Structure 1
Amino acid sequence: MEDFTNWLPIEFEKSNSDYKVRWMHVGDKSFTKPFFYDSIQSLRHQNRPTKLTNLNALEHTHCSSTLPPTAFIFHTSRCGSTLMSQMLSQSQKHLVFSEPMIVDCVLKYHLNNEPNNVKIIRNVIKALGQRRNLAEKMFIKLDSWHISRIPLLRQAFPDTPFYLLYRSPLEILKSHQKQRGIQMVPGLVSLEELNLDNPRYHPADLDHYCLLVLKSFFLDALRYINDIKLINYTQLPNILWEAILPELDIELDTNELDDLRKRSSTHSKQQYSPFNGDQFDKEITLSEKATKTLNELSILYEKLCLQKSSVF
């Protein structure tokens, strides 16, 4: 059995009709950047060695010691999940992966109804969870379009807490108006991944498309409400140290808590830029169809706010 200690799976690559796993030797690298991709890119610039294996290598690799996932973090986009993962990453006791490409690859692979999906996702998470440095806990933040994959992940990890962050849909829309995420641009993320069935929108009406995507996210959140614990954007950042860490039986010392709180005062994606709240235009103009979808979303948002599965 080949020793894969300090090698992490980073993505799938398609070779003819088969999928291969691309691995990278990361050593004792701590993944503290806002996104997994950013950390991998910095390692690529260091010419870290990589290798390609078959999928079954995920099952037959040997790693010295691994951490089970402490929690999975889902989100509806632009609602504080990156900030939450960045705060968690301030402690050396935490191994935090923010939107790892390999997990997205596995969940895309799941769309093909391939066998052994549960086994594959378990093995990927196990390989990511190799114990490094002082790490005692592992957190995985997913992409926003992974809410629809909660049943697969719950089957793979029946006892792991799933947190879902959400926010006022109007505020999410205003954030995407300033800088569109890839999931809000038609064609960049497939309709199947977004769990959208033949959405009807004008190609030039990006706001309406964004709201249709959000509606899918919110409907999925309500559909799987019994599997998740809700966190409203308005509860951040205090809810992390007041409720979530105690709920997970995580104790941080004074210095770690200070670092965590300091990180909460800066921009989630730009660590050294102070954050004073999002600056949005008070009034926006939407098409009639977009307005109708926003009104429907507002009702779904209120339903989420009333759920007893919220974290207090």
Structure 2
Amino acid sequence: MEGLNLDGWLPIRVWQAAGQWQVDWCWFGDARLSQPFFGDAVEQALRLPFNQAFRRQTPLSVLDQWRQQSPGLLPSAFIFHASRCGSTLISQMLAQLNDHIVISEPPPLDALLRNAMPHADRSMALMGLMSAYGQRRRGVEKRLVIKLDAWNIGELALLRECFPDTPWLFVYRDPLEIAVSHLRRPGMHMVPGMIGPSVLDDGLPFSGQEDFVARRLGRLLQVGLERCHEFAGLTVNYAELPDAMAGRLAAFFELNDDQRRQVFAMAGQHAKQPGQAFAGDSEDKRREASSLLRERVMHWAQGPYEALETWRVGRHQC
């Protein structure tokens, strides 16, 4: 470990070659991660001449070595979500804060969460990865917020083992509106076989895209509900945003009065397409939904959604 120096470098890929796990690193220097997704930040960084000329690959064990040599911030919050439901808006609002590191859906995290690595090795790698993302590259960082991929709700228990004190929330939305969004432009988890085995699999045959999307969405909401009951997660409905960032979400993320004002600097922008104005589309999506999609969503996803609403309202009243 002597002489190890990864200042300014972040893990961008975790992969296996010839039975050995490796890490690809990219140099970010002190650049802030303000893009909607970590992949966007990586794509931009890889255009730098330095990163085109130099590559850095290490064994997976280096993650733990770097954690011991240079411990980063522990995660202060995990954001789980049902997809297309406002989680990116939350992460982008937090990314406005200079003392926050916000990592949104980093592929290395998903790779570590969903592999057959021995449990102890995987846990060590996860803690090392978080420490790498939590490095104070600019010297002012105080909090690390991680937004996970939608299907990672299935791996919440493993993250809780590694980070038992990190609070988490689950963001969701009316399932018909989510389903319409995925029929317009399917997410990875709504394309059969694209993400590999996950907690969203139910092993049943499906009869068309509407049925597949509705079933996967119902499964996602159901698992989210079960994890909320098991691990006392905070539930947030899309309809509460962005106003909740001035209220109960501000308390959840421990924002002071000045930070509460700062996060609303981008609330009027489209979260996934910065520079474009945000416009609510719930009514448009509901009008667009076919009768078949409505029937499939009602059958597979409406029950878990209503149960989540009951849980959320009940927790509000506690």
Considering the TM-score relative to the shorter chain, is it more than 0.5? Answer: yes
Residue of structure 2 in register with 1:247 after alignment:
252
How far residue 258 of structure 1 moved from its aligned partner, in angstroms, is: 4.0
| Native 8 Å contact 1:85 1:98 kept in 2 | yes
1:67-95 deviations in Å (ceiling 9; x for gaps): 11110000000010001000000111111
Task: Work out which of the residue numbers 17, 26, 36 in structure 2 matches 1:15.
Answer: 17
Q: What code does the residue aligned with 1:277 have?
A: G
1:82 matched to 2:84: no
Distance 1:64 1:292 in 2: 50
Residue of structure 1 in register with 2:32 after alignment:
30
1:83-116 deviations in Å (ceiling 9; x for gaps): 100000011111100101110111122x455542
- The SS at the match of 2:204 is coil
1:105 matched to 2:111: yes
When residues 206 and 158 of structure 1 are mapped into structure 2, their CA distance, relative to the original with a 3 A threshold, is: same
Distance 1:281 1:132 in 2: 44
Task: Work out which of the residue numbers 267, 271, 275 in structure 2 matches 1:272.
Answer: 275
User: Map of 1:297-308 to 2, 5 A cutoff?
Assistant: 297-307=301-311
Aligned length: 305
Residue of structure 1 in register with 2:189 after alignment:
183
When residues 80 and 160 of structure 1 are mapped into structure 2, their CA distance, relative to the original with a 3 A threshold, is: same
| Native 8 Å contact 1:74 1:164 kept in 2 | yes
Structure 1, gaps ≥5 residues long: none
Moved over 6 A (4+): none
1:124 matched to 2:126: no
Structure 2, gaps ≥5 residues long: none
1:209 matched to 2:217: no
Compare the two structures and name the one with the higher helix fraction.
2
Residue of structure 2 in register with 1:93 after alignment:
99
Task: Work out which of the residue numbers 201, 204, 210 in structure 2 matches 1:199.
Answer: 204
Distance 1:284 1:264 in 2: 27
Q: TM-score, normalised by structure 2?
A: 0.89
1:171-193 deviations in Å (ceiling 9; x for gaps): 10111122211111112112x22
Residue of structure 2 in register with 1:220 after alignment:
223
Q: What code does the residue aligned with 2:278 have?
A: F
Q: What code does the residue aligned with 1:212 have?
A: R
Q: TM-score, normalised by structure 1?
A: 0.91
1:21-67 deviations in Å (ceiling 9; x for gaps): 11122110111000000000000011324311111111112654521
- The SS at the match of 1:282 is helix
Distance 1:240 1:96 in 2: 16
| Native 8 Å contact 2:250 2:260 kept in 1 | no
